Amino acid sequence: SHHSSSSSLTILHEDSKIPQHLQHLLRNMCKRKVSDDVANELQVELDRPVTLPRFREAIRAMPAGKAPGPSGLTANMIKAWPDSTIELVHTMLERLWNDKTIPKWWGDKFLCGIPKKPGESALTNVRPIGLLEILRKLWTSIIVTRIQNTWKKHKVFHPSQSGYRWRRGTSTAII
């Protein structure tokens, strides 16, 4: 277990199983200093294996009918997988996580134009949206949930903060 002094508090340690680029993102997201207890609990949560039942639960929770990312794989397809395929994909993703590797193609995305107002196709009425790889979204949703649950449990965010919070955004911040 990693213990750091309050003067040199770090969220993650050098032996972490979390890929370096995710560690970097996490460090940048955490501008507020947290106690050693919170940092240690977060590390434990991130090092804890993603169980097959939790993976299945995340699959069931995926919204159906969404556009696919670069591989063409959709939530509907994943939900229709037999148990043997789910187990194989879980093992593969767990191995990637533990080895701190991420497939290069997980960084790919389709950039699509969505009309701001239905029926109007003028370029000034189009907003870009990036369609990410669904397996990436599935796995990271599990990890992000762990991070957010730890932050929520320890009240890391001020009640008025809307960023990095479930069901909160600029619209809820204004209201």
Mean pLDDT in runs of 10 for the chain (175 residues)? 43 67 71 77 90 97 92 95 97 92 88 86 86 93 92 81 67 62
Pairing of strands 126-132, 109-115: antiparallel
- Sign of the CA dihedral with 91 first, then 96, 97, and 99 last: positive
The confidence score (pLDDT) of residue 39 equals: 86
CA distances from 40 to 9, 46, 124 (A): 10, 10, 48
Beta bridge partners of 126: 115
DSSP state letter for 123 = G
How far is it, in rounded angstroms, from Cα 113 to Cα 8?
Answer: 45
